[in-house]
Structure 1
């Protein structure tokens, strides 16, 4: 592949990787990871609410990794309440999973920035053959993609398996019991999915630039050695 096309591919991958770092950082700071509605079952049972009357007992909830908001509906109008995970909910939620999600988000940002820098270095500099070169780009892209997948798996298990929304809704509630009525992942969660796909795409761009995947068996070692000598 001509050098100019290779530079263009590496620059494109570097920009995409940098955009992923910014997108992940923005996602961490928002409350748009989960949106849902919560039903005040105690109030609904007291008045035997059905049909349209049931909507008077359905509140809303949305939250991110650090804070959120819920609207408490128990038949007398909505009452918005703000909450934060640290330190209020640490004893209520699965703290180890939640902290792991935040940790992997931080790792994703770091390696997305590292990958972006090395993509630009490969485009305009003279990289070494190992971690600074294409093999390193495969490594940074793989780590970033893996972190994105782990974030989605861990957060999904926290929300769905450990019933995170119900635990938040029933925090410090003595008289009323709330159940999840509906629940869906919001924009920030899907941003992490997009970032994972972008890092996977970056690995394909490296292959498109003419560099074999790691651990693949070269067909002609002499030709590849000559190419490496010309590139580096």
Structure 2
């Protein structure tokens, strides 16, 4: 492939990687990860609410990685309540998983920026082998893909398996019990999925530029070495 086309491909990959870093940084600071509704089960059972009456006992909840907001509905009108994960909710949530999600988000931002720098260096500089050349580009893209995948898996398990929304809704509630009525992932979560796809696309762009995958090179070298050994 001509050098100009390689530069163009690496520039595109670098811009995509930088856009991912900005998108993730913005996503981490928002509360647009989960949005759902919470049913006040105790209040609904007390008045045997059904149909349209049940809506008076369904509140809303929305949160991110650091803070959120919920509207408490128990038949007497909505009461908004803001909360933060640190330090208020650390005792009731799976703290290790939650901290791991934040940690991997930070790692993802760092390696997305590192990948951006190396893509631009390969486009306009004079890269040498190992981590500065194509092997490094594959490595940074693979790490970014892995971090994106881990973030989605860990956060999904925290929300669905550990019932994060219910734990937040029942925080400091003595006489009322709340159950999750509905919940869905919001924009910030889908940004992580888009970043995963972008970094996977970057791997394909590196291959399109004419650089073979590292493991394919190693297989070829092993085959050549084995043939030489057989000759001697």
Alignment-derived partner of residue 182 in structure 1: 182
Aligned residue for 1:215, secondary structure, equals helix
CA displacement, residues 76-128 of structure 1 (integer Å, 9 cap, x when unaligned): 00000000000000000000000000000000000000000000000000011
Alignment-derived partner of residue 160 in structure 2: 160
| Deviation, structure 1 residue 217 | 3.9
CA 1:218/1:173 → structure 2, altered by over 3 Å: closer, same or farther? Answer: closer
CA–CA distance in structure 2, aligned partners of residues 72 and 163 of structure 1: 18
Alignment-derived partner of residue 114 in structure 1: 114
CA displacement, residues 187-231 of structure 1 (integer Å, 9 cap, x when unaligned): 00000000011000000000000000111048988xxxxxxxxxx
CA 1:220/1:80 → structure 2, altered by over 3 Å: closer, same or farther? Answer: closer
Alignment-derived partner of residue 19 in structure 2: 19
TM superposition score normalised by structure 1 = 0.94
CA–CA distance in structure 2, aligned partners of residues 173 and 128 of structure 1: 61
CA–CA distance in structure 1, aligned partners of residues 170 and 128 of structure 2: 56
The aligned length equals: 221
| Residues 1:81 and 2:81 aligned together | yes
CA–CA distance in structure 2, aligned partners of residues 64 and 159 of structure 1: 11
CA–CA distance in structure 1, aligned partners of residues 163 and 126 of structure 2: 51
| Structure 2 counterparts to residues 27-38 of structure 1, below 5 A | 27-38=27-38
Which consecutive unaligned segments of at least 5 residues does structure 1 have? 222-232
CA–CA distance in structure 1, aligned partners of residues 177 and 219 of structure 2: 66
Report the aligned-residue RMSD: 1.2
Which consecutive unaligned segments of at least 5 residues does structure 2 have? 222-232
CA–CA distance in structure 1, aligned partners of residues 83 and 219 of structure 2: 59
Alignment-derived partner of residue 90 in structure 1: 90
CA displacement, residues 39-79 of structure 1 (integer Å, 9 cap, x when unaligned): 00000000000000000000000000000000000000000
TM superposition score normalised by structure 2 = 0.94
